[in-house]
Amino acid sequence: MNTAAAPAIELIGIDKRFGAVHANKNINMLVPKGTIHGIIGENGAGKSTLMSILYGFYSADTGEIHVNGKPVTIRSSQDAISTGIGMVHQHFMLVENFTVLENIVLGAEGGALLQGGEDKARVALKKLADDYELEVDPDMLIEDLPVGLQQRVEILKALTRGAETLILDEPTGVLTPAEADHLFRILRQLKDQGKTILLITHKLREIMAVTDNVSVMRRGEMVATLKTANTDPEELAELMVGRRVLLEVDKGAAKPGEVRLRVEGLTVKDEWGVARVDNVSFNVRDGEIVGIAGVSGNGQSELLAALAGIHKAVAGKIMLSGETIDPVHEADPAKMRERGLAHVPEDRHHMGLVLPFEENENAILGYHRSTQYGEGFDLDPDKVRADAVVKIKKFDIRPDNPRLKTANFSGGNQQKIVLAREMERDPKMLLVGQPTRGVDIGAIEFIHKQLIAMRDQGKAILLVSVELDEIRSLADRVLVMFAGRIVGEVSPETDEGEIGLLMAGINRKEAAE
């Protein structure tokens, strides 16, 4: 009885710094065996660092880890694996041009030659497939598998290594609600077989749906561990943020005007000829926010890129302010900007900013050819810096130093640099992708307010976000995208479950037939 009561995982006084960043502060946590334990917190709260320490990816500066009641030293992932801990990473740790089988045996080959280990793995996979509905063809290449199956391979990797405790880091980010539900079913099955699950997420819904206990992290600290049954989303949100949060955004009714953007039959293909945006048509009016909901990877990024002129489309028509643009032959981001289309890209680190640049240099990105910054070929740094100072003041960007390297600003302030650049030129139309990804709550409120204010000035806004809550609270109309198509238009008040079904490509009317 005593041994059975020993917790699967116990963390005692875990502390970790990265230079000046104190990622984990004296963390204590207890995870009973055979439970699903959620860890929730904002971006940057220290969840992933904590789990990486448990998985031996980093080592803690101080603190102890106990597994099944015994202290263990986990210096590497190898140590973690041999103590029965497995991890499914947010970004899959798979070799894409390897087969499923090769990925499964990698690191657990069972001998110097591959043949024996691969044969054993085949048998093990068969058994796991039977036990947990975890079927996958061992000879398929990873790059040919859909995302959901790739995740399954990750889970299988952990299970074939004999994991008793399974850590899942934001596992549903790439899944449709239906796929996520299937994942949760698997997790419950694993729990019933006595496995312990650690689920890291920032989605309250998932915590409520599947966990037994939940630990809340905030700014590197563990602020609470609760029984899921005894709490509710509001309490968890408050714990996460440290104060009461308005989950709703305060806004009046939209007053839609003329059609600003009309998209007809837009089709975008990727380099392999697969249609990522498939015959999409919609319009956006002045004074309204149109939200595009959908699971990440269903063509939203490609849609934004095509509208902004970054990627060529293969078919379709774009009309902006009444002017017809051929997105197949005329794709040019500079021209789109001249026409009054501003674009806050989904990924500010990879697209929106040049991190080693000084702040002022980023404040002109895309608008650098303007004569405002110098005649002809010239670029006048004094003019660039003067312009940056104005924007810094208006958007309360901190620190207010235009010569500071952009990489040294926080995520929220970096996003403000982008927003200031895109919103301050009085654009006619604004494309916004994931405006609050990786941004702290304070900045989220600021950014949301700015977007609403812009709408109320009569600007047309197209908002793409994978956060359904964000879409529902900001948008005036919601378009749902699935597999490159717009599969439905709903009002933001529509029931979350119904939008979820659309996001999974299931149209209720069709399903009824």
Partner 1 sequence: MDTTILFSVLDSTIRLTVPILLCCLGGLYSERSGVFDIGIEGKMLFSAFSAGAIAAATGSAWLGLGAAILTGITFSLLHGYASITQRGNQIVSGVAINFLAAGLTALLGKAWYQQGGKTPQLEPSARFQPINLPGAEAVKDVPLLGRIYEGLISGHNVLVYIALLAVPLTWWIIYRTRFGLRLRAVGENPAAVDTAGISVTRLRYSGVIICGIFAGIAGTYLAIAQSANFAPNMSAGRGFIALAALIFAKWNPIGALGACLLFGFLEAVAIPLQGAKIPGLNWDVPVQLITASPYILTVILLAGFIGKAIPPKAGGVAYVKER
Partner 2 sequence: MSSPFAKLPAWVDYGLMPVTNVFVGFLIAGLVVLFIGESPLNAVAILIDGAFGSVNNIFYTLFYATSFIFTGLAVAVAFHAGLFNIGGEGQAYVGGLGVALVALALDRYVPWYVTAPLAIAAAALFGAAWAYIPAWLQAKRGSHIVITTIMFNFIAASFMVYTMNKYLKPAGAMGPSSRPLESGSFIPRLGQVLDYFGIKSGSAPANLTFFVALLAAWLVWKLIWRTKFGYEMRTFGLNPSAASYAGISGTRVTILTMLISGGLAGLMAVNTILGSVHKIELDFVAGAGFVGIAVALMGRSHPVGVVLAALLFGALYQGGAELSFAVPAISRDMILVIQALVILFAGALENLFRPFFAQLFTPKAATAGA
Ranges within 18-37 binding partner 1 (CB under 8 A): 18
CA dist 22 and 16 (Å) reads 6
Whole-number minimum distance, CB 180 to partner 2, in Å? 29
In the list partner 1, partner 2, none, the entry touching 109 (Cβ below 5 to 8 angstroms by class) is: partner 1
Taking Cα atoms as reference points, which of 440, 486, 497, 442 lies closest to residue 464? 486
Distance CA 62, CA 26 (A): 8
Q: How far is the CB of 352 from partner 2 (least distance, A)?
A: 7
Q: Which is nearer to partner 1, 86 or 345 (CB)?
A: 86
Please state the closest distance from residue 52 (CB atom) to partner 2, in A: 12
Cβ atoms of 348 and 418 closer than 8 Å: yes
Number of other CB atoms surrounding residue 368 within 10 Å: 14
381 binds, among partner 2, partner 1, none (CB under 5 to 8 A by kind): partner 2
H or E element, residue 343:
strand 341-344
Residue 141 as a binder of partner 1 (CB under 8 A): the answer is no
| Binding range to partner 1, per CB under 8 A, among 71-79, 245-253, 392-400, 422-430 | 71-79
DSSP bridge partners of 355: none
Report, in Å, the least distance between residue 165 CB and partner 1: 15
Q: Please give the residue ranges that form the binding site for partner 2 (CB under 8 A).
A: 15, 17-20, 22, 58-59, 61, 308-310, 332-337, 343, 345, 350-357, 361, 364-366, 368-369, 373-374, 377-381
Piece of 55-63, 165-173, 203-211, 375-383 that binds partner 1 (CB under 8 A): 55-63
CB 308 within 8 A of CB 333: yes
Closest Cα to residue 83, out of 169, 5, 163?
A: 163
CA distances to 98, 100, 106 from 95, rounded to whole Å, are: 5, 9, 9
350 contacts partner 1 (rule: CB under 8 A): no
- Report what 378 binds from partner 2, partner 1, none; CB cut-off 5-8 Å by kind: partner 2
Tally of CB atoms within 10 A around 247: 12
Residue 509, contacted partner among partner 2, partner 1, none, CB below 5-8 A by kind = none
Please state the length of the chain: 513
> Which residue in the set 24, 27, 45, 55 belongs to the binding site for partner 1 (CB under 8 A)?
55
Instruction: Indicate which single residue of 113, 123, 511, 512 sits in contact with partner 1 (rule: CB under 8 A).
Output: 113
Q: How many CB atoms lie within 10 A of CB 420?
A: 22
Closer CB to partner 2, residue 164 or residue 361? 361
Residue type, 100: V
Scanning 109-117, 131-139, 268-276, 277-285 for contacts with partner 1 by CB under 8 A, the matching segment is: 109-117
Shortest separation between residue 499's beta carbon and partner 2, angstroms: 29
Residue with tokens 């955004």: 249
CB of 353 to partner 2, least distance (A): 6
Q: What does each C-alpha distance from 283 to 94, 118, 296 come to in angstroms?
A: 40, 53, 22
- Give every CB contact of residue 488 below 8 A, 6+ residues apart in sequence: 479, 480, 502, 507
Residues contributing to the site for partner 1 (CB under 8 A): 18, 49, 55-58, 76-81, 87, 89, 91, 93-98, 102-103, 105-109, 111-115, 117, 157
